[in-house]
Amino acid sequence: MRPPRETDPGGFALRSDGEIRIAPSILSADFAALGRDVAAVERGGADLIHVDVMDGQFVPNLTIGPAVVRALKRIAGRPLDVHLMIAEPDRYVEAFVGAGAGMVSVHVEAVPHLHRTIHLIKQLGVKAGAVLNPSTPAGALEDIAADLDFVLVMSVNPGFGGQAFIPHSLDKLRRVRDVLDRAGSSAPIEIDGGIDATNAAAVVAAGASILVAGHAIFGGSDPEAATRLLRDAALGAATRA
Ligand code: DX5
Ligand code: ZN
């Protein structure tokens, strides 16, 4: 068996080592001041910058393309975590990696040949993740689990920020962790949708270690403090565990 990669060409490790990573989603940031907002969350301790790409087809919303990712890459001091909520992601993966993505995730529901798509991403030298919508069972990952660098569990239906966390996602996290463990994978699990300081402890206890948050971080007036608050809430769970 190949040993887990410690670092990628971008130089960051991504393993299920118990380390909590906070990934602010710029979907709820001020698009006219992305540089300011990214700098604020980085001062607050953000580990990743989560970028939601939507095409108006796979999800009913339109957001960001490679040009914005390229601009973010110039100003971000953290890896860009690009979440593709688009149909036919194979057509665009190379453009997003070329623009500076350090992690690329694709929806299981959007691709007919997930194995091919995951390996396409990995061959480009970045972390490859598979995303599960709330209604997609954890078992959908059984035959690809060993190939994944990370899994993203959606805790809302994708398309919009500011939605309520779906409580069933806690069971889902435990089942995804079980699928990964049975495949001998230490890949971390990312959780995305409705995450805030009130549920951070619960999602970490259920197996998530990368926490995406949009509204909870950018919805108020102090994204730096909100990032710190979310980390503290998540770490509280980690130290109790
Ligand atoms: C939803 C996106 C999320 C979104 C999360 O489709 O994938 O990343 O930005 O936003 P909140 O934290 O506001 O639910
Ligand atoms: Zn997302």
Judged against a pLDDT cut of 50, whether residue 4 lies above it is answered with no
For position 26, what pLDDT does the model report? 98
Give the C-alpha separation, 187 to 4, whole Å.
9
| Number of residues assigned to the chain | 241
Residue 14's pLDDT is 72
pLDDT band at 10 (very low <50, low <70, confident <90, very high): very low
| pLDDT tens digit sequence for 66-115 | 999 999 999 999 999 999 999 999 999 999 999 999 999 999 999 999 99
> For position 191, what pLDDT does the model report?
98
CA atoms within 13 A on the CB side of 35: 4
Collect all residues with Cβ–Cβ distance below 8 Å to 47 and sequence separation of at least 6: 21, 22, 23, 78, 210
∠ CA 195-52-201, rounded to 5°: 15
Q: Give the pair of three-digit tokens for residue 102.
A: 């350090």
Q: With bands split at pLDDT 50, 70 and 90, how would you rate the model's confidence at 128?
A: very high
Q: State in Å: Cα 2 to ligand 1 middle.
A: 34
Q: 25 CB under 6 A from ligand 1?
A: yes
User: Can you read off the two tokens belonging to residue 29?
Assistant: 């940031």
CA–CA dist 159, 153 (Å, integer): 14
Give the ligand with the smallest distance to the CA of 83.
2
Query: What does DSSP say about strands 127-132 and 150-154: parallel, antiparallel, or unpaired?
Result: parallel
Confidence of residue 18 (pLDDT cuts 50, 70, 90): confident
Q: Tell me how many helices (H) and strands (E) the chain has.
A: 8, 8
The reply to whether ligand 1 has any atom less than 6 angstroms from the CB of 212 is: yes
Helices 34-43 and 66-75: crossing angle in degrees, nearest 10, is 50
Each residue's pLDDT tens digit, 28-39: 999 999 999 999
For residue 1, the CA-to-ligand 2 centroid distance in Å is 31
Ligand nearest to the CA of 28: 1
Ligand 1 pocket test: pick from 192, 195, 203 the residue with the most ligand atoms within 8 Å of its Cβ.
192
Binding site membership of 66 for ligand 1 (Cβ less than 6 Å)? no
Q: Minimal CA–CA distance to 20: which of 204, 213, 186?
A: 204
212: region left, alpha or beta (phi > 0 left; psi from -120 to 50 alpha):
beta
- Whether 5 has a pLDDT exceeding 60, the answer reads no
User: Which residues place a Cβ less than 5 A from the ion ligand 2?
Assistant: 52, 83, 192
Average pLDDT (177-190) is 98
Residue 8 pLDDT: 45
Which residue's CA is the closest to the ligand 1 atom numbered 6?
158
Q: What is the mean pLDDT of the chain?
A: 94
Report pLDDT for 9: 40
User: Is the Cα torsion angle 212, 70, 37, 32 positive or negative in sign?
Assistant: negative
Whether 2 has a pLDDT exceeding 60, the answer reads no
193 close to ligand 1 (CB < 6 Angstrom): yes
Report the DSSP beta bridge partners of residue 127: 103
For the stretch 188-241, pLDDT in tens is 999 999 999 999 999 999 999 999 999 999 999 999 999 999 999 999 866 655
